[in-house]
Amino acid sequence: MLPLPAFADNYIWMLHDSQDAVVVDPGDAAPVIEALRRTGLRLRTILVTHHHADHTGGVRELHEATGAVVHGPAHETVPEPVTRMAQGDAATVLGGLRFEVFDVPGHTSGHIAYYCPSVPGAAAAFGPAEAAPPVLFCGDTLFSGGCGRLFEGTPAQMQASLDALAELPGDTLVCCAHEYTLSNLRFAQAVEPGNLALLHHIAACESLRAQDRPTLPSRMATERSINPFLRTREASVARAAQAHDPRTPPSDAVQVLAALRQWKNDFR
């Protein structure tokens, strides 16, 4: 599994079996075409999580060049032809990997995510490799240390979406679509300055970026311990949200998330 850099901070995820490939959210065709040329892989499938141009801009060119089948959200406008997917559907790729679809509105109204409970070799490029870890392609719903802006959805939708993703196994590889990690972690530290797991994660991610290496994928267990948007029911996070915005009831996770998201929007 490879994160192909695109634009300033996007990743186009490429999953392959040494012959065929799947890409996720190809906002630009060029990095994918170059990776296919370099590796000799054949592009078979394109998975799209939501309609924003930095996730869909290369879809049509790649489909026309390779004939790859496109899967995308049922309720958003994405390049045709597309097999439309929603909660309960699944995309089968690379001869048998079954990616379950989750509806995860919040960043956009029809955002979806793709989850496979066992992907052979997926972690090999990112450290000690389990035989077949779970993999989540979550687009812009969940970031390492953060979540997407609420461009179309509501705080209640985002809270429900994040709750659903947080229930996935702790060893799940969280494949976000942007290298926003250090910025997100600076905000997370402002929320929970005493979170030791967060401090250790910041150091690890700073080391990776100093080597020009991705901070992704993350792990769901890590995100549950360091990501304030997955920790809205933790007393320390709720207190911080209320201290920032006294109107925030600390017992209401949705209101805590809303306060955190507004705080993050303005955070410098």
Active-site positions read 50, 52, 54-55, 107, 140, 178
d(CA 13, CA 182): 20
Looking at this protein, which amino acid is placed at residue 130? E
Of 94, 138, 142, the closest CA to residue 118 belongs to 94
d(CA 132, CA 115): 13
d(CA 35, CA 32): 5
**Own/partner long-range contacts of 33-38 (Cβ < 8 Å, ≥24 apart):** 33/62, 33/65, 35/2, 35/4, 36/66
Looking at this protein, which amino acid is placed at residue 142? L
**Contact present, 91 and 85 (Cβ < 8 Å):** yes
User: What residues pair up with 10 in beta bridges, in sequence order?
Assistant: 6, 178
- Burial zone of 212 (CB within 10 Å; 0-12 exposed, 13-18 middle, 19+ buried): exposed
| Exposure b/e, 1-24, CB count within 10 A at least 16 = b | bbbbebeeebbbbbbbbeebbbbb
3-state SS class at 237: helix
- The residue behind tokens 């060029």 is 30
User: What residues pair up with 100 in beta bridges, in sequence order?
Assistant: 90, 115
